Amino acid sequence: MTRRLRLAAGLLVAVVTLVLPAVLDDSALAVYILLGLAAMVTVGVSLLMGYAGQVSLGQGAFYAIGAYTAALLALNGAPPLAGLVAAPVAAAISALVIGVPLLRLRGHHLAFATLAMQLILLSLAGQLEFTGGDIGLQGIPQFGVGSFEATSASVYAYLTWAGLALVMLVTHNVIASRPGRALRALATSETAAASSGIPVGRYKLVVFALSATFAGLAGGIYCFYTGYVAPGSFPVLISIQYIVMAVVGGLGTIWGAVVGATAITLLVQGLDLLASLPGMPTYAPSVLSYAVYALVLIVVVLFMPHGLVPAVSGRLSRKRARTPYR
């Protein structure tokens, strides 16, 4: 019965995902696309924090690396498909290089180090000439394959959610594999995992690179959709937002990342509408975002410490256990 319910829920989500781009207007479709991109990055954050036990405040940096890589290749004559493929590869290579020294740190030391990494990257992007400086890169070509060119937002919506489906599939296979079981042991205790023969350092680096790959893929799609990237497109707040999404949905759960991204994205859109009302100060959006993130985290930690998806699934499991068989 549980398997049938999961299959039915999965089919329902797939149908809704395919139908929505055809019925949403342009403004709602933009939110739908950004939601999918955020979910793509959040799946990697959930994998990194929930299974490897590593806290990263710099996922926005890998999002930016993917976007800048795809944009630079497309602007210099490379096919957009090549740019999109290169985006996650560049992010993964960057994570491998950066992760070797950074992953020697733990806890808040690692979190602050990844935050510093994003600040350094944004500073360099704002100073270097080939990245366009603070103005950024403009006029990025539309995504296309051969003679086909993505000229409508609905095409980017399907591309985004196809990318999310791929990310979720890869994550599911990783979790269900033997390395996935080793990662669960690693998240519980690095010392115990190492004493069991698990190569702790190697696994941490691989998961760090895999989460960066997901962020890079999302960044590649983002640059083609917007046609413009700049340091201001990847503020530090965006990395904090991904962590909030992962925690709210449920760390270490695939669907938790999607649910958390949906909840926070819709909440942010509501705050933006509130901040745009007449009489609101110009700094209202950022202040409201930080305040609501803090409030949401406090509520979730107090009342649903494992996140929305584990809380709901746990309640349903207890309800089924109390239901007598007939």
Structure tokens at 196: 């069991």
State residue 53's pLDDT score. 80
Structure tokens at 47: 């994998």
Class level of CATH domain 23-321: mainly alpha
Please report the DSSP string for 199-216 in residue order: -HHHHHHHHHHHHHHHHH
Give 241-257 pLDDT, tens digit per residue.
899 899 999 888 888 99
Q: Smallest Cα–Cα separation from 233: which of 78, 34, 26?
A: 34
State residue 94's pLDDT score. 95
Give 263-311 pLDDT, tens digit per residue.
988 888 887 777 777 777 766 666 776 777 778 888 888 888 888 888 8
State residue 297's pLDDT score. 80
Residue 283: other Cβ atoms inside 10 A: 9
Q: Smallest Cα–Cα separation from 88: which of 221, 202, 177?
A: 221
Q: Smallest Cα–Cα separation from 95: which of 44, 152, 132?
A: 44
Residue 214's Cβ-side half-sphere holds a number of Cα atoms within 13 Å equal to: 31
Which residues of the chain, if any, have pLDDT below 50?
1
